[in-house]
Protein backbone atom coordinates (compact mmCIF):
# COMPACT_ATOMS: atom_id res chain seq x y z
CA UNK A 1 0.00 0.00 0.00
CA UNK A 2 1.29 3.42 -0.95
CA UNK A 3 1.58 5.49 2.22
CA UNK A 4 2.02 8.85 0.51
CA UNK A 5 -0.64 11.39 1.31
CA UNK A 6 -2.49 12.82 -1.66
CA UNK A 7 -4.57 15.93 -1.05
CA UNK A 8 -8.24 15.65 -1.93
CA UNK A 9 -9.76 18.16 -4.29
CA UNK A 10 -13.29 19.26 -3.47
CA UNK A 11 -15.46 19.47 -6.57
CA UNK A 12 -19.04 20.41 -7.28
CA UNK A 13 -20.84 18.07 -9.63
CA UNK A 14 -23.28 20.71 -10.88
CA UNK A 15 -20.46 22.89 -12.23
CA UNK A 16 -21.64 25.91 -10.28
CA UNK A 17 -20.98 27.69 -7.05
CA UNK A 18 -23.88 26.20 -5.08
CA UNK A 19 -23.17 22.50 -4.58
CA UNK A 20 -25.87 20.01 -5.45
CA UNK A 21 -23.60 17.23 -4.25
CA UNK A 22 -20.15 17.69 -2.78
CA UNK A 23 -17.56 15.19 -3.99
CA UNK A 24 -13.81 14.71 -3.84
CA UNK A 25 -11.35 13.69 -6.53
CA UNK A 26 -8.84 11.06 -5.48
CA UNK A 27 -6.50 9.18 -7.86
CA UNK A 28 -8.71 9.84 -10.91
CA UNK A 29 -11.82 8.64 -9.05
CA UNK A 30 -14.66 10.64 -7.54
CA UNK A 31 -15.73 9.96 -3.96
CA UNK A 32 -19.18 11.17 -2.95
CA UNK A 33 -20.09 10.96 0.70
CA UNK A 34 -22.90 11.74 3.05
CA UNK A 35 -24.18 10.95 6.51
CA UNK A 36 -27.42 8.97 6.38
CA UNK A 37 -29.64 10.01 9.31
CA UNK A 38 -30.61 7.23 11.72
CA UNK A 39 -32.71 7.38 14.88
CA UNK A 40 -29.58 7.48 17.06
CA UNK A 41 -26.96 9.15 14.85
CA UNK A 42 -25.60 9.07 11.31
CA UNK A 43 -24.28 6.20 9.20
CA UNK A 44 -21.34 6.97 6.94
CA UNK A 45 -21.89 6.26 3.26
CA UNK A 46 -19.32 6.57 0.49
CA UNK A 47 -19.79 6.10 -3.24
CA UNK A 48 -16.86 5.70 -5.61
CA UNK A 49 -17.40 6.83 -9.20
CA UNK A 50 -15.35 7.21 -12.35
CA UNK A 51 -15.68 9.80 -15.11
CA UNK A 52 -15.47 8.46 -18.67
CA UNK A 53 -13.88 10.16 -21.68
CA UNK A 54 -17.17 11.94 -22.46
CA UNK A 55 -17.56 13.33 -18.94
CA UNK A 56 -20.30 10.96 -17.80
CA UNK A 57 -19.99 9.80 -14.19
CA UNK A 58 -20.57 6.11 -13.44
CA UNK A 59 -21.00 4.60 -9.98
CA UNK A 60 -18.47 1.84 -9.36
CA UNK A 61 -18.86 0.94 -5.69
CA UNK A 62 -21.02 1.87 -2.67
CA UNK A 63 -19.70 1.48 0.86
CA UNK A 64 -21.69 1.75 4.07
CA UNK A 65 -19.76 2.41 7.23
CA UNK A 66 -20.59 2.60 10.88
CA UNK A 67 -22.81 4.76 13.06
CA UNK A 68 -21.52 8.12 14.33
CA UNK A 69 -23.06 10.59 16.73
CA UNK A 70 -21.89 13.61 14.72
CA UNK A 71 -22.83 14.19 11.08
CA UNK A 72 -19.43 15.60 10.06
CA UNK A 73 -17.63 12.54 11.46
CA UNK A 74 -19.83 10.24 9.39
CA UNK A 75 -19.21 12.28 6.23
CA UNK A 76 -15.45 12.24 6.79
CA UNK A 77 -15.53 8.49 7.39
CA UNK A 78 -17.35 8.01 4.06
CA UNK A 79 -14.43 9.72 2.29
CA UNK A 80 -11.92 7.52 4.12
CA UNK A 81 -13.87 4.38 3.17
CA UNK A 82 -13.76 5.43 -0.48
CA UNK A 83 -10.02 6.14 -0.33
CA UNK A 84 -9.32 2.75 1.26
CA UNK A 85 -11.35 0.97 -1.40
CA UNK A 86 -9.55 2.83 -4.22
CA UNK A 87 -6.17 2.09 -2.64
CA UNK A 88 -7.04 -1.61 -2.47
CA UNK A 89 -7.40 -1.68 -6.28
CA UNK A 90 -3.74 -0.90 -6.91
CA UNK A 91 -0.86 -3.02 -5.56
- 10 Å CB burial of residue 36 (0-12, 13-18, 19+) is middle
| The CATH number of the domain covering residues in 9-89 | 3.30.160
Rg, C-alpha atoms of the chain:
13
- How do the pLDDT tens digits run along the chain, 91 residues long? 444 455 566 655 555 554 456 789 999 999 998 888 999 999 999 999 999 888 888 999 999 999 999 999 999 999 999 999 999 997 6
Domain coordinates in residue numbering, the chain: 9-89
| pTM for the full predicted model | 0.74
Amino acid sequence: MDLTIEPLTKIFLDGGFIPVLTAYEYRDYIIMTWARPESNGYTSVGIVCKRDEFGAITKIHRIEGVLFGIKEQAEHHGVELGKLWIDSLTP
